[in-house]
Homo-oligomer: A and B are copies of this chain.
Amino acid sequence: MERVRQFYQFLEARAWDDLAPLLAETVVYEMPQTRERITGRDEYLAFNMNYPGDWHLSVRRVVDGGDQETAVWISATADEQDLDNLAFITFDNRGLITTIVDFWPEAYEPPPGRPQSTTRY
């Protein structure tokens, strides 16, 4: 899904003027972990423009669900900490992004009692 790769390239490059035309004016951005929502293209752009810290995003895997939706796995760094980022993105009939649901799962140590078949990588 070329639009999704472009989207993340522009975001990584802070190329706001290139990013804006990919978004529907009514785009909704959601972070289920904090139950936060941002509605509107300008508000979404401002959120990213002003996001604190040094962050970087590179696309690791795209699951292309056709014209209407896609899922993406991003390798991110935030202030040099490695993070995985998963997003579910939908598009309208013009190809503009209408919703982004964004997950930021954090690393943790395995709980005790895992079976011997479990290895670390």
Binding site for B on A (CB under 8 A): 30, 32-40, 43, 46-47, 50, 52, 61, 63-66, 69-71, 73, 84, 86, 88, 101, 103-110, 113-115, 117-121
Contact = CB atoms under 8 A, between A and B. Distances in A.
Contacts of A40: 117
B114 A36 contact: yes
Chain copies in the assembly? 2
B34 A110 contact: yes
A36 B105 contact: no
Contacts of A38: 115, 117-119
B37 A108 contact: no
Contacts of A65: 63-65, 71
Contact of A105 (B33, B37, B50, B109): B33
A119 to B, nearest CB: 5
A33 B83 CA distance: 9
In order of increasing CB-CB distance, the 8 nearest A-B pairs are: A71-B71, A105-B105, A43-B117, A63-B65, A63-B71, A34-B110, A103-B105, A86-B86
